Amino acid sequence: MRLKTPTSGGAAPGVERRRRKPSGIPTRQLLGVAGIIGFLVTWELIPRLGLIDQRYLPPASEVIAALAVDFGLTAFWVSVGETMKAWFFGLVIAVALAVLAGFIIGSSDFLRKATNSTVEFLRPIPSVALIPLAVLLFGVKIESSLMLITYAAFWQVLIQVLYGVADVDMVANNTAKTYGLGRMARIRYVVFPTALPYLMTGVRLAATVALVLAITAELVIGSPGLGREIALAQSGGAISGMYALVLATGLIGVLINVLMRFIEKKTLSWHPSVRSEVIV
């Protein structure tokens, strides 16, 4: 007897069909570009029409021109490097500490209950409130920025890790225990895969918070970086240059967000939430 082969209009049983990528530019991207253009046009018209004095809000064209000039200056890239260095090291320290503390606390009911009040008390404290303490301890060096960045980013990751550990399927955990897996093996093969999506969400949120605190520390404390350059431009009356630096920090924030989302998708390529985006 001859077997029937699937026709071109159907798919073989058990084979998943991948979603076809639409041709052309997606509507969402077109709307995003249109939104940016509309924002820039509005920004250009507001000072040109006299709604706001150009001394306080230069037209977008002047700010973009000043930013283009900054791109050609070595001092600008040195400041970017200082900001990114503080952002990177502060984020790495915060993630390492939060992951370690999260798995230790989350794996013990006693520790989770004992530390709950302390976490809820410390977490809402604004990092900027620690600026006087950071200055007293480290002065205007990069260590002050690292202290503020680490404190702010730490809670973003810790809370997500605690949620992830609490979401572990107890049936799977007990099954692994029945099969003789030790505590470390269960953390590796059961707890960590469950907590990883939460962890990646926490890292993505912490990356944005870390950049905000890096710029804030440089603005207020005077640590080297883009924040200090913004303060110097403002005090020196270089308003267009100040807005150009602010725009540069926004572009860095967008790039960081895109990078974190890319890393998240690559890391969680096995997770149903990511696979469902390309498989129907």
> Is pLDDT at 57 greater than 50 in this prediction?
yes
Which pLDDT value is given to residue 274? Answer: 61
Confidence of residue 4 (pLDDT cuts 50, 70, 90): very low
pTM value surpassing 0.85: no
> Is pLDDT at 273 greater than 80 in this prediction?
no
Which pLDDT value is given to residue 190? Answer: 81
- For the chain, what is the domain count? 1
Q: What is the enclosing helix (H) or strand (E) of 132?
A: helix 131-138
Give me 9's structure tokens: 């209009």
Which pLDDT value is given to residue 25? Answer: 60
Q: Which of 47-51, 82-86, 251-255 has the lowest mean pLDDT?
A: 47-51
> Is pLDDT at 15 greater than 60 in this prediction?
no
Provide the residue range defining the domain that includes 200.
57-273
> Is pLDDT at 280 greater than 60 in this prediction?
no
Rounded Cα distance between 84 and 87, Å, is: 5
Rounded Cα distance between 73 and 35, Å, is: 30
Rounded Cα distance between 228 and 155, Å, is: 26
CA distances from 57 to 36, 64, 243 (A): 18, 13, 8
Partnered with residue 18 across adjacent β-strands are: 279
Which pLDDT value is given to residue 108? Answer: 83
39 in a structural domain: no
* Tens digit of each residue's pLDDT (9 = 90 or more) over 210-268: 999 999 999 988 888 999 999 999 988 889 999 999 999 999 999 999 999 999 888 88
45 in a structural domain: no
Note the Cα 192 to chain centre separation in Å.
Answer: 21
Rounded Cα distance between 66 and 43, Å, is: 15
3-state secondary structure of 49: coil
CA distances from 267 to 63, 131, 275 (A): 38, 35, 12
25 in a structural domain: no
**Residue 18 phi/psi, 5° resolution?**
-90, 140
* Tens digit of each residue's pLDDT (9 = 90 or more) over 166-216: 888 777 777 777 777 777 777 777 888 888 899 999 999 999 999 999 999
Q: What's the CATH code of the domain at 259?
A: 1.10.3720.10
Indicate the length of the chain as a whole number. 280
Tokens 């699937």 belong to residue: 6
Please work out, in degrees rounded to the nearest 5, the angle formed at the alpha carbon of residue 67 by the alpha carbons of 65 and 72: 100
Confidence of residue 275 (pLDDT cuts 50, 70, 90): low
> Is pLDDT at 142 greater than 90 in this prediction?
no
Nearest alpha carbon to residue 106 among 158, 38, 173: 158
